């Protein structure tokens, strides 16, 4: 490895690589604790897979920018150390899989020859900084945000206060008010703004803080309507310092900054940030606006004229994948890539295409595709033909037909069901049965293998996340359907709502039903979310209710997509998120959510529904307290009986009468307004008591 290190330009990267090599050897000898080593390697982009003994490696590519030479280097590394496959992520990174731990320092050293780092791509650090892929060529942009993302990336790559945070910290830049980088779903988001001060144009940003996806999504709050450009780095540093000091660490499921904002409020957080200004490293930082310079390809190429054989596909491709840049005479060309997957041979071919047709500035898009820049208009027919040979000219980029999905159970330990398998089936349905939807860029379909939303289902118009359903003694792979999420613009968005859980194999039928209902009943030009709001959540529940029935399950529905073996929920350690799959916190969230559902149903005079949601909340929170005593019960009646024994009889919690009588009021009363109101109040009081018990226990443990 010595020869490889000699070619590294940044001595800090060399130190990082040597340190990783040293820590691996210490871990192998047993002199380094496994948990500590895990934390160390994660912050160096080395991530344990679902499959034991191999690693996923994530390359940190700020705002998804990659040169053709870097792409070739990544392809070479994938061939030598992995299985030759690359995966593009929704955070504009590249991942490879099945890598030997002992080979990771050498792999990193080879990447570093082309200025590709692993530092901070995983773990509790400032993660890869994302930005609009169209930045720099966006006709709507006030200015190019790429240099700002680049400067933040460089500044926070190794700052000590950002390396061992309570959880990961994500930053995004959008190029205009359309907010295609989803700033409203980030820990910190920036939207470019300009204003005139004393006759001069001053650049700045609207700043969003405290957004996030995961099992409990939060919309970001506005921290500033206009923060001048020389303040974005000092402000970001102050925010991270405050988060490092005040953020949760014991309960890692509540350790993101969104929970801190929710707990203390945006005003108090900003007060802390202002107090922290004195401690920031630099009070003003002038951004080097020329740090990223995009130039057209100067290579002289003769684009042979020819007749397009598939004129309809070419027309569709031009309409959905190609747009004119703000630079006159040049075009941006988007490449739709199924789930962000390609092999090394195809990656090298793409690098050659870039060298012949575009600027040497490839961008990975947040929907797992590529964007080529500065393509001359005359080159479009030849480029289409060349891309088509690789399977890279499929129309419908960022449309209904361009589904986003995380890897799910293919590699992730947190995956519950096969997100990639169902994504493949849904794209097939769209392509074969609804081909006209390649022109629909309003509806986005996003799929996650679990509730943690790595596939961004929480902000989709139509989203799914992996789950399971019990049917007797069997477990059925399932998907939770969510609807109504999306971008509103200028840092505002909406979170999708849970509708119904269905067996995974019924997802295509669910999608057909949604499309058909929307096409039949929506008004001309009505957007999906407008239709969703007009019809209401219950309309969609009733529309799809039959798909959730377990009495009609067929034999193949007990198998997940792409699998022939019996389905089992095998949830392990989710290292990328830096947490264990915390069943307790998930159940608490669901109990609180059910209370909200009960209130909503009551307000709509759906008293039976309200009563059941109240009941389910009581059961859920009772299960939490039992689990924390290592008492696991798989039935509702078992939970009721065990809770009576371990909490009510012991007077650890006070309930008037028997717990069984308290809970089973549900089947002792008619679903009237009066009873629904009483039962909802009872469930709220019970939830409050249960959470108080947990808080007292936590304080005792901490003290």
Instruction: Classify residue 404 by its DSSP letter.
Output: E
Count of Cβ atoms closer than 10 Å to residue 552 Cβ: 10
Query: How many Å apart are CA 323 and CA 519, to the nearest integer?
Result: 28
Q: Cα 398 vs. chain centroid, distance in angstroms? A: 16
* pLDDT, position 583: 53
Residue 576 pLDDT > 60, yes or no?
Answer: no
**Contact assessment for residue 465 and residue 343, using Cβ atoms and an 8 Å cutoff:** no
- Average pLDDT score over residue span 526-553: 96
User: Which neighbouring-strand residues pair with 86?
Assistant: 342
For the cut 50, the answer to whether the pLDDT of residue 148 exceeds it is: yes
3-state secondary structure of 386: helix
Q: Which residues contact 200 (CB under 8 A, 6 or more apart)?
A: none
Domain 311-390 carries which CATH code? 3.30.70.3340
Q: What is the pLDDT of residues 580-626, one digit of tens each?
A: 334 566 678 778 888 987 898 899 898 878 887 888 888 888 888 88
Q: Is the dihedral of CA 531, 534, 536, 540 positive or negative?
A: negative
Q: What is the mean pLDDT of residues 433-459?
A: 93
Mean pLDDT of 298-311: 76
| Cα 289-124-47 angle, rounded to 5 deg | 105
Q: Residue 23 pLDDT more than 50?
A: yes
CA–CA separation, 410 and 561 (whole Å)? 11
- Mean pLDDT for all residues in the chain: 90
Per-residue pLDDT reduced to its tens digit, 384-413: 999 999 999 999 999 999 999 988 777 787
Got the DSSP string for 524-540? TT--HHHHHHHH-HHHH
Q: Which tops the pLDDT comparison, 309 or 648? A: 648
Helix or strand or coil: residue 372?
Answer: strand
Token representation of residue 311: 């004129």
* Mean pLDDT (whole number) for 199-225: 95
Question: Alpha-carbon distance 409 to 262, whole Å?
Answer: 32
Rounded Cα distance, 59 and 692, in Å:
43
pLDDT at 157: 93
Euclidean distance between the first and the last CA atom of the chain, given in angstroms as a whole number: 48
Domain range annotation of the chain: 2-112, 138-279, 311-390, 404-558, 582-702
Contact 293, 301 (CB under 8 A): no
pLDDT tops 70 at residue 572: no
Query: What's the confidence (pLDDT) of residue 634?
Result: 59
Q: In percent, how much of the chain has pLDDT > 70? A: 95
Paired tokens of 54: 């191999």
DSSP output for 48-106:
E-SSTT-EEEEEB-GGGEE-HHHHHHHHHHHHHHS-SEEEE-TTS-EEEEEE-GGGHHH
d(CA 591, CA 584): 11
Longest dimension (CA), the chain: 87
Using pLDDT thresholds of 50, 70 and 90, give the confidence band for residue 48.
confident
* Distance in angstroms (rounded) separating the CA atoms of residues 371 and 384: 14
Kind of pairing, strands 188-197 and 171-173? parallel
Pairing, β 85-88 against β 341-343: antiparallel
Residues near 177 by beta carbon (within 8 Å), at least 6 away in sequence: 140, 191, 489, 490
Q: Is the pLDDT of residue 571 over 60?
A: no
What pLDDT, on a 0 to 100 scale, did the predictor assign at position 577? 43
Output the pLDDT for position 580.
Answer: 33
Burial of 35 (0-12, 13-18, 19+ CB in 10 A): exposed
Count Cβ atoms below 10 Å from residue 288 Cβ, excluding itself. 12
Backbone angles phi, psi at 284, to 5 degrees: -140, 140
Q: Which residues pair with 94 in a beta bridge?
A: 59, 88
CATH architecture, domain defined by 2-112: Alpha-Beta Complex (3.90)
List the beta bridge partners of residue 59: 94
For residues 702 and 198, the model is more confident at 198
What's the confidence (pLDDT) of residue 239?
Answer: 96
**Least confident window among 315-324, 375-384, 605-614, 669-678:** 605-614
Half-sphere exposure of 430 (CA within 13 A, CB side): 25
Roughly what angle, to the nearest 10 degrees, separates helices 507-521 and 419-433? 40
What value does the mean pLDDT take over residues 317-321? 97
The reported pTM is: 0.79
Share of the chain above pLDDT 90, in %: 63
Mean pLDDT of all residues in 215-238 = 95
CA-derived radius of gyration, the chain: 26
536 Rama class: left (phi>0) / alpha (psi -120 to 50) / beta: left
The DSSP 8-state label assigned to residue 178 in this structure reads: T
330-374 pLDDT, tens per residue?
Answer: 999 999 999 999 999 999 999 999 999 999 999 999 999 999 999
**Taking Cα atoms as reference points, which of 344, 190, 209 lies closest to residue 267?**
209
Residue 504 has pLDDT above 90, yes or no: yes
Cα-Cα-Cα-Cα dihedral sign, residues 17, 18, 19, 25: positive
The reply to whether domains 2-112 and 404-558 share a CATH topology is no
**What would the mean pLDDT of 203-221 be, rounded to a whole number?**
95
Instruction: List strand residue ranges (DSSP E) for 241-344, in order.
Output: 322-324, 330-335, 341-343
> What is the C-alpha to C-alpha distance for residues 92 and 84, in angstroms, rounded to an integer?
19
Name which residue leads in pLDDT, 246 or 468. 468
CATH code of domain 404-558: 3.30.413.10
Stretch among 325-339, 381-395, 652-666 having the lowest mean pLDDT: 652-666
Residue 558 φ then ψ, to 5°: -85, 0
pLDDT recorded at residue 223: 98
Backbone angles phi, psi at 86, to 5 degrees: -115, 150
- Confirm or reject CATH 3.30.413.10 for domain 138-279, answering yes or no: yes
Q: How many CA atoms lie within 13 A of 190 on its CB side?
A: 33
Return the structure tokens found at 104: 């990771």
Cα 374 to Cα 302, 308, 322, 363, 367, distances in angstroms: 16, 22, 11, 12, 21
User: What is the arithmetic mean of pLDDT over 193-211?
Assistant: 96
> Tell me: the pLDDT tens digits for 453-483?
888 999 999 999 999 998 888 899 999 999 9
Q: Average the pLDDT over 3-15 and give the result.
A: 80
CATH of domain 582-702: 1.20.120.330
Residue 647 DSSP symbol: I
3-class DSSP state of 189? strand
Cα dihedral across residues 153, 154, 155, 158: positive or negative: positive
Cα–Cα nearest to 74, from 65, 86, 56: 86
pLDDT band at 639 (very low <50, low <70, confident <90, very high): confident
Does 1 score more than 80 pLDDT?
no
Tokens of 675: 């009873």
In angstroms, rounded to a whole number, what is the distance separating the alpha carbons of residues 97 and 344?
13
The dihedral sign for the CA sequence 142, 147, 151, 152: positive
Beta bridge partners of 405: 447
- Please tell me the predicted confidence (pLDDT) of residue 581: 33
pLDDT digits (tens, 9 = 90+) for 96-128: 999 999 999 999 999 999 999 999 999 889 999
Cβ atoms within 10 Å, residue 320: 22
């Amino acid at each position: 490895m010595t020869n490889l290190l000699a070619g590294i330009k940044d001595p800090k990267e060399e130190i990082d690589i040597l340190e990783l090599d040293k820590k691996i050897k210490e871990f192998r000898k047993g002199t380094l604790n496994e948990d500590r080593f895990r934390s160390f390697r994660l912050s160096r982009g080395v991530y344990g897979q679902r499959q034991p003994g191999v690693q996923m490696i994530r390359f940190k590519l700020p705002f998804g920018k990659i040169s053709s030479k870097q792409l070739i280097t990544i392809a070479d590394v994938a061939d030598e150390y992995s299985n030759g496959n690359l995966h593009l992520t929704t955070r504009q990174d590249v991942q490879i899989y099945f890598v030997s731990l002992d080979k990771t320092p050498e792999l990193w050293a080879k990447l570093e020859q082309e200025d590709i780092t692993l530092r901070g791509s995983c773990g509790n650090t400032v993660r890869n900084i994302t930005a609009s892929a169209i930045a720099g060529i966006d006709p709507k942009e006030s200015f190019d945000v790429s240099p700002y993302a680049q400067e933040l990336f460089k500044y926070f790559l190794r700052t000590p206060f950002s390396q061992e945070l309570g959880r990961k910290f994500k930053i995004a830049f959008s190029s205009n008010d359309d907010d295609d980088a989803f700033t409203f779903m980030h820990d910190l988001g920036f939207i470019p703004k300009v204003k005139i001060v004393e006759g001069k144009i001053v650049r700045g940003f609207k700043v969003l803080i405290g957004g996030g996806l995961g099992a409990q999504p939060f919309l970001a709050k506005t921290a500033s309507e206009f923060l001048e450009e020389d303040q974005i780095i000092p402000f970001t540093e102050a925010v991270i310092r405050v988060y490092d000091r005040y953020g949760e660490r014991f309960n890692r499921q509540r350790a993101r900054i969104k929970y801190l904002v929710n707990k203390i409020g945006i005003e108090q957080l900003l007060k802390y940030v202002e107090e922290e200004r004195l401690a920031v490293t630099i009070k003003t930082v002038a951004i080097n606006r020329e740090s990223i310079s995009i130039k057209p390809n100067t290579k002289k190429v003769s684009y042979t004229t020819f007749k397009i054989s598939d004129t309809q596909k070419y027309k569709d491709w031009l309409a959905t994948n190609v747009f004119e840049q703000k630079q006159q005479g040049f075009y941006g060309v988007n490449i739709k890539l199924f789930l962000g997957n390609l092999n090394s041979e195809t990656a090298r071919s793409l690098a050659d295409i870039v060298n012949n047709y575009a600027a040497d500035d490839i961008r990975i898009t947040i929907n797992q595709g590529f964007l080529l820049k500065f393509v001359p208009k005359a080159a479009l027919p030849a480029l289409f033909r060349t891309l088509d040979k690789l399977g890279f000219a499929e129309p419908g980029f960022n449309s209904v037909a361009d589904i986003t999905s995380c890897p799910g159970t293919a590699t992730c330990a947190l995956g519950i069901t096969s997100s990639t398998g169902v994504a493949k089936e849904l794209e097939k349905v769209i392509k074969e049965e609804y081909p006209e939807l390649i022109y629909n860029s309003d509806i986005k379909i996003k799929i996650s293998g679990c509730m943690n939303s790595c596939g961004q289902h929480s902000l989709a118009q139509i989203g799914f996340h992996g789950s399971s359903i019990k049917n007797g003694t069997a477990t059925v792979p399932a998907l939770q359907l969510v609807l109504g999420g999306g971008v509103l613009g200028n840092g505002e968005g909406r979170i999708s709502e849970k509708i119904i859980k269905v067996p995974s194999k019924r997802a295509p039928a669910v999608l057909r039903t949604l499309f058909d209902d929307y096409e039949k009943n929506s008004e001309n030009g009505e957007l999906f979310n407008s239709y969703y709001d007009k019809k209401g959540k219950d309309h969609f529940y009733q529309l799809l209710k039959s798909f959730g029935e377990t009495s009609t399950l067929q034999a193949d529905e007990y198998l997940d997509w792409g699998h022939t073996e019996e389905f089992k929920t095998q949830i392990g350690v989710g290292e990328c998120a830096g947490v264990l799959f915390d069943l307790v916190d998930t159940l608490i969230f669901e109990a609180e959510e059910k209370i909200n559902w009960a209130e909503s149903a009551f307000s709509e005079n759906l008293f039976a529904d309200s009563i059941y949601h109240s009941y389910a909340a009581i059961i859920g929170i009772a299960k939490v307290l039992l689990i924390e005593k290592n008492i696991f019960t798989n039935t509702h009646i078992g939970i009721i009986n065990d809770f009576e024994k371990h909490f009510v009889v012991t007077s650890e919690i006070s309930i008037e009468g028997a717990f069984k009588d308290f809970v089973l009021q549900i089947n002792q009363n008619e679903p009237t307004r009066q009873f629904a109101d009483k039962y909802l109040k009872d469930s709220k009081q019970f939830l409050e008591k249960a959470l108080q018990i947990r808080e007292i226990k936590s304080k005792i443990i901490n003290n």
